[in-house]
Amino acid sequence: MTTARPILLLWGAILTSPVAAQVQLGTGAQVIPIVSTTTAVPGGTALTEGRFTQAVVRLQATALHGRLRLDMLGDFEGWTMPHGQLTTGAYGEGFVDRRHPHTFVHEFVVSAPDLLGSLDGPVAITLAAGKGFVPYGTDDPMSRPPLLYPVNHHIAQVLERAVAVAAVRAGPVTVEGAVFNGDEPERPAQWPNWRRFGDSWATRVTFTPLAGLEWQVSRGHVHSPEHRAGAGLDAEQWSTSLRWESELRYAFIEWARRADGGAFLFHTLLAEGAWQMGRHRPYARLERTERPEEQRIDDGFRSLRPHLDNNILGISRWSIGTLGYSLTVKRGRVTFQPTVEGSVARVARVVGLFDPATFYKRSTLYTMSIGVRIDWAGDMAGHRMGRYASPAPHHH
């Protein structure tokens, strides 16, 4: 926790100063007990596993009438799912066909949302720093309707970095820029490599003409994300998305691409939507994403680390359709959302030695999941990680 010491000292000074009476705290917690059955298993078999996923605790503290804010999210998946979660097509941080556990400190960011002194004014300037999400791409899938993460998590978002952000909002337009360390975590307890801070950068422009309607375009340069010492390939990334959300409906579409060292190119196109009808919420997602096929070790669900370009055996394309349904039940401060979700995936070889039809013994894969999203004292869907800038006035 030594890397968080300056932030803790800052908030300790605030909490013991005369402004402590102005500090407002918001808390929340979430966990999803889930059982999944999938045929996306090496060797052509099927596998069923139960996990406690997205086990998180959230704290938000604001002071000085909202002009100083702390966003913190503790993630305990390193304990509840140390061997990952069965997720069709997922990859990253040494896991393949399993979603990796996130780091224990998923987000710890201090921000000054408006240095000009008027949160509702036409122009606002924000500075933020800590460990968290880079202003690139779209929201963490944790805050979106489906239970399982999409394949494109490591193309569409850049997370768990030591990051410094500057943002300017003028009316409905917000421009963000950031510098950060390129290295991804290798295990849940690992902190960013501070010697690499500033070797990567990202920018994002967001246009919000109406409340609930948002269009963003992002550009990122990530130096050696999968080799902690910095000897790996650089990733050049682009992203754009359109999001619309009202009290009852949600629709979202994104496109992104990532070029690793000019040698490997990956694209993703994803669309998802949900419709709230009283306590009932059906949802759907369509995704078409290309992923690297890396040399595998152990039981076939892990890949070599540190990752280098000669570990990549090819590129595969995952086309996945997902349907789900959740029911909302509230008991005091706790919300339960029993959810059932199924998906069908088609996987094909794009280039290289890796042949999915041979590896999985089939090219059509099925996954079924049943889980309960349990949310205490808050709605995780309302927390948009990486959005540290002051929002447009009609978003308050």
Q: Which residues contact 146 (CB under 8 A, 6 or more apart)?
A: 272, 283, 285, 322, 324, 341
The whole-number pLDDT of residue 5 equals 61
Cβ(390)–Cβ(117) under 8 Å? no
CA-based nearest residue to 258, from 149, 153, 162, 103: 153
Q: How confident is the model at residue 396 (pLDDT cuts 50, 70, 90)?
A: very low
pLDDT tops 70 at residue 180: yes
Lowest mean pLDDT among 49-58, 64-73, 283-292, 338-347: 64-73
Cα angle vertex 29, ends 27, 33, to 5°? 175
Short-list 85, 84, 91, CA closest to 315: 91
Res 57 pLDDT > 70? yes
Of 137, 171, 129, nearest to 153 (Cα)?
Answer: 137
Prior bond of 306 cis (ω within 30°):
yes
**Percent with pLDDT over 70 in the chain:** 90
The tokens describing 154, both together, are 């490591």
pLDDT band at 1 (very low <50, low <70, confident <90, very high): very low
Residues 306-312, mean pLDDT to the nearest whole number? 66
Give the fold, CATH level 3, of 2-395: Porin (2.40.160)
Q: What is the pLDDT of residues 103-135, one digit of tens each?
A: 999 999 999 987 877 666 788 899 999 999 999
Q: What is the pLDDT of residue 261?
A: 85
Q: Which of 196, 264, 256 is nearest to 233 (CA)?
A: 264
pLDDT at 127: 95
Domain residue spans of the chain: 2-395
DSSP symbol at 277? B
Better-predicted residue by pLDDT, 20 or 98: 98
Neighbours of 298 (CB within 10 A): 9
Q: How confident is the model at residue 76 (pLDDT cuts 50, 70, 90)?
A: very high
Q: Which residues of 82-104 are buried (b: 16+ CB within 10 A; e: fewer)?
A: eebbbbbbbbbbbbbbbbbbbbb
Q: Quick check: 261 and 309 in contact, CB under 8 A?
A: yes
Residue 295: the pLDDT is 84
**Average pLDDT over the chain, rounded to whole?**
89
Q: Which two tokens stand for residue 266?
A: 């990956």
| Burial classification of residue 112, based on how many CB atoms lie within 10 Å of its CB (0-12 exposed, 13-18 middle, 19 or more buried) | middle
Higher pLDDT, 307 or 257: 257
Check pLDDT > 90 for residue 196.
Answer: yes
